Amino acid sequence: MKLSEIINKKIAIWGFGVEGQATAKYLSEKNISFTVLCKDTESVDKYMCETAKVDTDLLNKFDVIIKSPGISPYSKIVKYTTAQLTSPTAIWFANEKNTTVIAVTGTKGKSTTVSLLAHVLKKSGKNVNLVGNIGQALISSTSNYDYIVLEASSFQIYDGNIQADVVLVNNLSAEHVDWHQGAANYFKDKLKILAQAKIKIINAKNQQLNKLVNDESVHYFNIDNGFYVHKEALMFKDKQILCLADVQLMGTHNLENIGAALCVCLHLGVDIDTCINAVKSFKPLAHRLQNLGKIGQHYAINDSIATTPVATLAAMKTVDLSKTTLLVGGYDRGNDWTEFAEAINKNPPDLLLVSGQNAEAITNHLVHIKAQFAFKLCENLPDAINYAKLNSPTNHTILLSPGAPSFDQFDSYIKRGEFFHLELNKNV
């Protein structure tokens, strides 16, 4: 949406988190009037704020609503408003884009891949800005870079206005089914990002992607004539270019992420040898299979970012499960844990501790399949951590990989991961 189309209209910013605040700053700098719809605790004097409960009547008082990504467009409030809805991302692409944008999305591995890609491009001498779901709002960025690397969530992709030059889709499995009102909508909304891309790259081995994407212009990673993983090595065609021991990331799934990032670099014409050397110096992000070392009698790994069962199954491949206590559970987003229960029963940890809002649902799956390993339903995460400390054998690993969002007990996966670390250190 062009600013010239809205400059004389009644505008509201709905949602006042990172994107909402960045949008307010952006419009203020353009001398465009607006009202912020926010909570009492978020109200600030420098902007006109409306703290009443948001309903359709309130939205209908405005001509244009700039909606934050976390607010589902499938809600009745949104469906029945007469106001025109747009997003901070759509506004940026319509008014500010003047450089190459690389957008990365997928159900898991987005943050690691975009961070790795930005790191590699910088080491290759490029001027890069990393924005999007990982932290900085796109609308707060100028185009004064060689590349803008955008981590795009399904929420940000929904309105179909991401016009990236290069799009990488790492993988696809059901997530955010509550926000999208079903897996089918999630898949459809997620893949809108491919529509306007000049270069499209997807994972050749992801069944859901290959089932839904039918486009002859697509390029692939995880394929024999490109980058792919063989055992614990990353290959390019018939040549080994990296092995897991060469990098600081854990797990063969991260070799896939590296291959995806290098595939982007290859299509951009960046020197691959320089990129491969840069990969070796990349350090893992906090809360993503973050090795906390030995705390007291146990080793610990913080994978609080794992918000789907699929992500937890990937984390389990990075440890010796016979010496691991695994902590799962959290906010109930409606994900199906059947596949997880069946997979973990075939290759279980030494002990599984389940807590959180969806704990009973997960436990019911395990009972239904008559799981043949030790698992326990805990009251909450503090209870699970304490039980793990008291009941895990010396030198075993305590792995937090919840497979669910944090919102039942914590404001974010970051707060959950920090709490995990602090609790492990208590009375050590």
Express as a percent the part of the chain with pLDDT over 70.
99
Written in H, E and C, the secondary structure of the chain is CCHHHCCCCCEEEECCCHHHHHHHHHHHHCCCCCEEECCHHHCCCCCEEECCCCCHHHHCCCCEEEECCCCCCCCHHHHCCCCEEECHHHHHHHHCCCCEEEEEECCCCHHHHHHHHHHHHHHCCCCEEEEECCCCCHHHCCCCCCEEEEECCHHHHCCCCCCCCEEEECCCCCCCCCCCCCHHHHHHHHHHHHCCCCEEEEECCCHHHHHHCCCCCCEEECCCCCEEEECCEEEECCEEEEEHHHCCCCCHHHHHHHHHHHHHHHHHCCCHHHHHHHHHCCCCCCCCCEEEEEECCEEEEECCCCCCHHHHHHHHCCCCHHHEEEEECCCCCCCCCHHHHHHHHHCCCCEEEECCCCHHHHHHHHHHCCCCCCEEECCCHHHHHHHHHHHCCCCCEEEECCCCCCCCCCCCHHHHHHHHHHHHHCCC
- Under the banding of pLDDT at 50, 70 and 90, the label for residue 35 is very high
How confident is the model at residue 325, as a pLDDT? 98
How confident is the model at residue 19, as a pLDDT? 92
User: What is 96-280's CATH topology?
Assistant: UDP-N-acetylmuramoyl-L-alanine:D-glutamate ligase (3.40.1190)
The strand pairing partners of 35, in sequence order, are: 12, 48
How confident is the model at residue 356, as a pLDDT? 96
- Under the banding of pLDDT at 50, 70 and 90, the label for residue 14 is very high
- Under the banding of pLDDT at 50, 70 and 90, the label for residue 160 is low
| 90-94, 132-136, 160-164: range with highest mean pLDDT | 90-94
- Under the banding of pLDDT at 50, 70 and 90, the label for residue 386 is very high
| pLDDT, mean over the chain | 93
How confident is the model at residue 161, as a pLDDT? 86
How confident is the model at residue 74, as a pLDDT? 85
CA distance 141 to 134: 14
How confident is the model at residue 373, as a pLDDT? 96
pLDDT at 413 over 80: yes
- Give the pLDDT mean for 169-196: 84
For the chain, the structural domain boundaries read 3-86, 96-280, 290-425
Express each pLDDT in 216-225 by its tens digit. 899 999 999 9
Express each pLDDT in 121-149 by its tens digit. 999 999 999 998 777 899 999 999 999 99
User: What is 290-425's CATH topology?
Assistant: Protein-Tyrosine Phosphatase; Chain A (3.90.190)
- Under the banding of pLDDT at 50, 70 and 90, the label for residue 11 is very high
Least confident of 178-192, 232-246, 276-290, 377-391: 178-192
pLDDT at 172 over 70: yes
How confident is the model at residue 236, as a pLDDT? 96
Express each pLDDT in 224-240 by its tens digit. 999 999 999 999 999 99
User: What is 3-86's CATH topology?
Assistant: Rossmann fold (3.40.50)
Express each pLDDT in 353-366 by its tens digit. 999 999 999 999 99
